[in-house]
């Protein structure tokens, strides 16, 4: 079965976790693209917040109610993809450049569900780790980071920040996450700690592996 089919079965399984009346955070990416029609097809009354303009557009297109993330202060559930899933639960996100908004949404969710195909679990996290960097002082921030580069061909985030990638050694993800967060000018990085993650649904062939 292809990666696309695995993304679909994982996303469809995640859609089944959503209940009527829930406030739902919608991630970004090709796996989430399969979630949106599956969620809409359930015909539930939901309030959704999107983590990117492209998810907002796609969600509205299938009839989901998308609201601004201003007065909503928590989610019953948020569902999102991942680029890498480590055995200890650390994630790398941000291949689609939406990791800052995705992390804000994940942190506000009672349950953060990750959906992925079977290419995403890795033995150990490796570079690149996506970054969102303030445009102000960008060259100085890159110098301070040492091993990081602006991602070619990627537009700024909807919040006006540059998208870059850390390309250096990973080592202990917790230590790296702390180091990246400590650099002024780093808005957010794409390392998501296991404590943020409630469930991981991995499509394997036509079945879904559920890690929680």
Cα separations (Å) of 66 from 43, 59, 211? Answer: 15, 7, 28
Residue 78, beta-bridge partner list: 25, 112
- CB 200, min distance to ligand 5RP, A: 12
Which residue, 18 or 101, has its beta carbon nearer to ligand 5RP? 101
- CB 52, min distance to ligand 5RP, A: 7
- CB 94, min distance to ligand 5RP, A: 5
Distance from C-alpha of 209 to C-alpha of 119, rounded to nearest angstrom: 13
Which spans of this chain sit near ligand 5RP (rule: CB under 6 A)?
Answer: 27-31, 80-83, 93-99, 102
Active site residues: 102
User: Is residue 192 within 8 Å of 106, Cβ to Cβ?
Assistant: yes
Which residue, 47 or 151, has its beta carbon nearer to ligand 5RP? 151
DSSP classification of residue 43 = T
User: Is residue 80 within 8 Å of 27, Cβ to Cβ?
Assistant: yes
**Helices 3-15, 30-41: inter-axial angle, 10-degree rounding:** 40
Which residue, 20 or 62, has its beta carbon nearer to ligand 5RP? 62
């Amino acid at each position: 079965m292809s990666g696309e089919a695995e993304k679909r079965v994982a996303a469809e399984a995640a859609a089944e976790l959503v209940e009527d009346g829930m406030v739902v955070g919608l991630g970004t990416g090709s796996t989430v693209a399969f979630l949106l029609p599956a969620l809409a097809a359930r015909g539930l009354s939901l309030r959704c917040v999107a983590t990117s303009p492209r998810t907002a557009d796609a969600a509205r297109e299938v009839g989901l109610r998308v609201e601004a993330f201003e007065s909503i202060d928590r989610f019953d559930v948020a569902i999102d993809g991942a680029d890498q899933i480590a055995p200890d639960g650390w994630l790398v996100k941000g291949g689609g450049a939406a990791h800052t908004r995705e992390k804000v949404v994940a942190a506000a969710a009672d349950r953060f569900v990750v959906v992925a195909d079977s290419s995403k679990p890795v033995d150990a996290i490796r570079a690149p780790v996506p970054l969102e960097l303030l445009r102000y002082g960008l060259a100085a921030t890159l110098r301070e980071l040492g091993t990081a580069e602006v991602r070619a061909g990627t537009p700024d985030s909807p919040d006006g920040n540059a998208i870059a990638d850390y390309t250096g050694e990973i080592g202990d993800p917790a230590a790296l996450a702390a180091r990246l967060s400590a650099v002024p000018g780093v808005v957010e990085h794409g390392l998501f700690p296991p404590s943020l993650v409630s469930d991981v649904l991995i499509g394997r062939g036509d079945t879904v592996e559920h890690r929680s």
